[in-house]
Chain A
Amino acid sequence: MSSREITIAGFLVLGAVMVTLVAASWTGRLPRVGEVVDLLGARRSGRVLVVLAWWWLGWHFLVRTS
């Protein structure tokens, strides 16, 4: 496998894991994303990280996409 294929495969695996986690939350086997965000955001420090992560996603995909 080339470096490019390995890199892309890694992203595909991560994407598949995220879809599986969301699906598992729908069936009740795992908490929902919102509940996890609530837990992480219970403290101010956790909320800072959650907001930073959200902001970074916006910056990365909507402003700087290459």
Chain B
Amino acid sequence: MTADDQPRYGTPRRAVVLVATVATAAYAAVASTTGVNTVGAAVAVAVPGATVAVLTLRRPSRLVRAEPVLRRGAAIWVVVALTGLLWEAGAYLGELTIGQYEHPTVSVLLAPLLHDQVVRFAAWSLWLYAGWRLIRR
């Protein structure tokens, strides 16, 4: 490949990223208009969810060099994620048995924020971007 070929080689990739960015923003804009606990919101999460699942899971496994630093970092993140999951589950159980005020889940705490249209659009964009990164990795 010569230097002259590079711009032509890179253009489709940039075009894909541009189209994906615009499509993601458009999807987030539409999805953020759906209300919480509605069928529309459930469908809006299910469509990209299924797409990312299919595209990610059909990819063949690959070798990743697990150096000690990477293993340690992964272990720390797994512990933090599991702790968060357990804390949220505990709050949820408390919410069911004692009361939502005494044991609010993180979603309850963030609900007033997530009802704001701008925050909701940002949250949708962030979630879709994370899904896009899962496909691209």
Check if A and B associate: yes
Whether, in the assembled complex, A48 has its beta carbon less than 8 Å from a beta carbon of chain B, the answer is: yes
Q: Do B41 and A62 touch across chains, with their CB atoms under 8 A apart?
A: yes
Task: Give the interface of B toward A (CB within 8 A).
Answer: 31, 36-38, 41-42, 44-45, 48-49, 52-53, 56-57, 59, 61-64, 66, 69-74, 76-78, 80-81, 83-84, 87, 91, 94, 98, 101-104, 106-111, 114-115, 120, 123-124, 127, 130-131, 133-134, 137
* Shortest distance between the CB of B62 and any CB in chain A (Å): 6
Contact A59 B45 (CB under 8 A): yes
- What total count of A-B pairs have CB within 8 Å? 140
The contact size tier of chain A is 35 or more
- Give the Cβ gap from B57 to chain A, nearest Cβ, in Å: 6
Taking the nearest CB of chain B, how far is it from the CB of A16, in angstroms?
11
A43 nearest CB across to chain B (Å)? 6
Question: Once the chains are docked, how many angstroms separate the CA of A30 from the CA of B71?
Answer: 10
Instruction: State the CA gap A8–B134 with chains docked (Å).
Output: 30
Q: Which residues of B contact A54 (CB under 8 A)?
A: 52, 127, 130-131, 134
A→B interface (CB under 8 Å): 2-4, 7-8, 10-11, 14, 17-18, 21, 25, 30-31, 33-44, 47-48, 50-51, 53-55, 57-66
Q: Bound state CA distance, A5 and B64, in angstroms? A: 42
Residues of chain A within 8 A (CB-CB) of B102 are 2-4, 7
A39 and B137: CB pair below 8 A?
Answer: no
Contact of A39 among B49, B64, B131 (CB under 8 A): B64
Please report the C-alpha to C-alpha distance between residue A2 and residue B94 in the assembled complex, in whole angstroms. Answer: 13
Question: Whose C-beta in chain A lies nearest to the C-beta of B78?
Answer: A40
A30-B94 contact, Cβ under 8 Å, with A10-B87, A53-B81: no
Give the distance in Å from the alpha carbon of A44 to the alpha carbon of B44 in the complex: 25
CA distance A51 to B57 in the complex (A): 9
A7 touching B91, Cβ below 8 Å: yes
